[in-house]
């Protein structure tokens, strides 16, 4: 674990106890600048993530007794 991952929960708990609210952060994306928010929106937490997409592949199945068509490699 990195240092900020260990300290972050204590930072949030301390801010809630002293100020009674979550701390706001200034969010920027590397190479893109600040994130554009709507009026009244505030960022309280951000964490890096990756997007994994699952794609469906059709195997050519036909309904009923029409059969299945699966191409075979040579």
Q: Is residue 74 part of a domain?
A: no
Rounded to whole angstroms, the Cα distance separating 49 from 12 reads: 20
Q: Is residue 21 part of a domain?
A: yes
Q: Is residue 71 part of a domain?
A: no
| Per-residue confidence (pLDDT) for residue 18, from 0 to 100 | 92
Q: Could you tell me which residues are beta bridge partners of residue 29?
A: 33
Q: Is residue 23 part of a domain?
A: yes
Element (H, E) at 27: none
Q: Is residue 72 part of a domain?
A: no
Q: Is residue 73 part of a domain?
A: no
The answer to whether the beta carbons of residues 27 and 46 sit under 8 Å apart is yes
- The closest alpha carbon to 27, from 19, 37, 40, belongs to 37
How many domains does the structure of the chain reveal? 1
Q: Is residue 10 part of a domain?
A: yes
- The closest alpha carbon to 1, from 62, 39, 40, 47, belongs to 47
Residue 45's domain comprises 3-66
pTM recorded for the entire structure: 0.46
| Per-residue confidence (pLDDT) for residue 26, from 0 to 100 | 80
Give the model confidence (pLDDT) of 24-60 as tens digits. Answer: 888 777 777 778 889 999 888 877 778 888 887 776 6
């Amino acid at each position: 674990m990195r240092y900020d991952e260990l300290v972050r929960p204590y930072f949030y708990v301390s801010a809630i106890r002293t100020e009674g609210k979550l701390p706001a952060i200034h969010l920027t994306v590397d190479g893109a600048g600040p994130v554009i928010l709507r009026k009244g929106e505030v960022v309280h937490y951000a964490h890096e993530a990756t997007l994994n997409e699952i794609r469906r592949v059709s195997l050519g199945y036909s309904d009923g007794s029409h059969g299945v068509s699966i191409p075979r490699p040579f």
